[in-house]
Amino acid sequence: MPFSDPHHPLSKPENLRRAIHAAGVALWSWNVTDDRFSMDERAFDLWGLEKSSKVTFEDLSAHIHPADRDRVRAAFTATRGIVGAYEIDFRIIVREEIRWVSARGLGDDAALHQGQMFGIFLDVTGRKQAEEGHELLAGEMSHRVKNLLTIAMGLTNITSRSTTTAKEMAGELTGRLAALGRAHDLVRPLASDQGTAALLGDLLTVLLSPYEDLGAFRGRIRVAVPRMGVGENAATALSLIVHELATNSLKYGALSIDTGILDLSGTTDDHDVTLVWTERGGPAVESPDGAEGYGSKLIRRSVAVQLGGTISYDWSNEGVVVMLKLRGEKLAL
């Protein structure tokens, strides 16, 4: 035995206790005959109990999280039939705090000494919280990837039906996906009363900035909206809507002429938001005839389903005016 040497540092009981304390180990013994637990001071602190010589398994069970209680009881009963080491992780409730505890020991009655089973408790709360955080992150990433794939497939389907050549489809699809990318770059936490993803004005300005560079002068695109935050889902929907409107304007409206002007303004009323898209200085426009295009269907569906609002068009000779009425609580999502 390595500690049979009386000069070995760990042969001294006080040094062994120091090593156990440094490792954060709490000691326990369980008398399987009368169901009594004996624990050291660290174990009582871990469980949030007053030190006592009369602690039963049921006393400890009362502090185990209800969702884990039956499992732990069954596991401890089964330890007498387990040959070798065992480990059980479970939650306990200490006042209003939830802690994770790992109980470890040797099973089988052959491991009993004078009718007692011995083991340790470890506080593994930090490790469990880290594992839960990784699981949540992995789940969130999976959810986002699935959403992005769904959006990409939907955009591909819509774009394939609204274009006539592969080159035209590639250009429009790339533009739509790029709009999503620009919106995603803006997603970040904001103050609790401002939404969760981006400021509305920042989002709209970034989405429209590529079209500003296509004009003959700076400042032909003006954005003046209330200072408010929007959530991630709303940012995605708005990015698609703005891109569709800007693409149409680039093809047929004010942005198709170097000197055309686009004004995007907004107002709030009882937490709801109205955005007005006004084009001036472009070619004369007319109300489209025939069935609604896929791009228009995409906008209308995004406004109604994701933003709980409505969209209307005024096809005036001076340029189209688009009015979006959006629900405030939907913008925060």
- Indicate whether 163 and 32 sit together in one domain: no
CATH of the domain at 46: 3.30.450.20
Q: How far apart are the first and last CA of the chain?
A: 65
Q: Pick the more confident residue, 77 or 136.
A: 77
Averaged pLDDT score across all residues of the chain: 78
What is the pTM assigned to this prediction? 0.49
Domain boundary among 93, 123, 153: 123
Q: Write the pLDDT tens digit of every residue in 176-208.
A: 677 666 655 665 544 444 456 678 888 888 888
**What pLDDT, on a 0 to 100 scale, did the predictor assign at position 264?**
93
Structure-token pair, residue 92: 């306990």
* Structural domain boundaries, residue 88: 2-123
160 and 285 fall within a common domain: yes
Minimum mean pLDDT range among 241-250, 254-263, 306-315: 241-250
- Helix axis angle, 166-186 to 232-252, nearest 10°: 140
For residue 1, pLDDT over 50 is answered with: no
Task: Tell whether 244 and 118 lie within a shared domain.
Answer: no
- State how far the alpha carbon of 241 is from the alpha carbons of 153, 234, 235, 308, in Å: 17, 10, 10, 14
Share of the chain above pLDDT 70, in %: 74
Cα gap 297→318, rounded to integer Å: 24
Q: Report residue 222 as tokens.
A: 């003006």
More confident of the two residues 261 and 296: 261
Secondary element (H or E) of residue 9: none
Q: Verify that 77 and 109 share a domain, yes or no.
A: yes
For residue 333, give every residue at least 6 positions away whose Cβ sits within 8 Å of its Cβ, in sequence order, or none.
231, 232, 233, 234
Exposed e or buried b per residue across 172-206, where buried means at least 16 C-beta atoms within 10 angstroms of its C-beta: bbebbbebbebbbebbeebeeebbbbbbbbbbbbb
More confident residue, 18 or 195: 18
* Of the residues 79, 101, 123, the one at which a domain ends: 123
